[in-house]
Amino acid sequence: DVKVTQSSRYLVKRTGEKVFLECVQDMDHENMFWYRQDPGLGLRLIYFSYDVKMKEKGDIPEGYSVSREKKERFSLILESASTNQTSMYLCASSAPLTADQETQYFGPGTRLLVL
């Protein structure tokens, strides 16, 4: 089974703090992703990474950065947390379904509250 873990289930931070959300997968997958999920807006892609030290912007990268120093670990960084970043953050790792098709398996999520 694909296993994706996230460092925290719940976090409470203050406005302006630097926040690190960490994600680890144990299946040697190359592709990893960060999404946020908000009521009425659904899941939106923030950043993804194809390989170590590689990163690509998703649909809503503003206010976020990422780091991937090791293949199994993908970190999401909020440089200066703001209240509009209060959300559920979901990490995913991509696994092959067929020779040319992949899909994403999600971690349990981190619910972040920024006060």
Pick from 48, 66, 75, 87: which binds other proteins (CB under 8 A)? 48
List the end-to-end C-alpha distance of the chain, in Å, as a whole number. Answer: 37
| Among the listed residues 19, 21, 33, 74, the single contact to other proteins using CB under 8 A | 33
Residues touching other proteins, count (CB under 8 A):
26
Q: Is 97 near other proteins (CB under 8 A)?
A: yes
Q: Are 46 and 61 in contact (CB under 8 A)?
A: yes
25 lies in the binding site for other proteins (CB under 8 A):
no
In 3D space, the residue among 13, 10, 9 whose CA is nearest the CA of residue 79 turns out to be 13
| Residue 100 sits in the site that holds other proteins (CB under 8 A) | yes
Residue 42 in contact with other proteins, rule: CB under 8 A: yes
Contact flag: residue 43 with other proteins (CB under 8 A): yes
Both tokens of 70, joined, read 């090791």
Within 8 A by CB and 6+ apart from 108, the residues are 5, 6, 9
Read off φ and ψ for residue 98, nearest 5 degrees. Answer: -135, -170
Q: Is 107 in the site for other proteins (CB under 8 A)?
A: yes
Applying CB under 8 A, which residues contact other proteins? 31, 33, 40-45, 48, 50, 56, 58-59, 90, 94, 97, 100-109
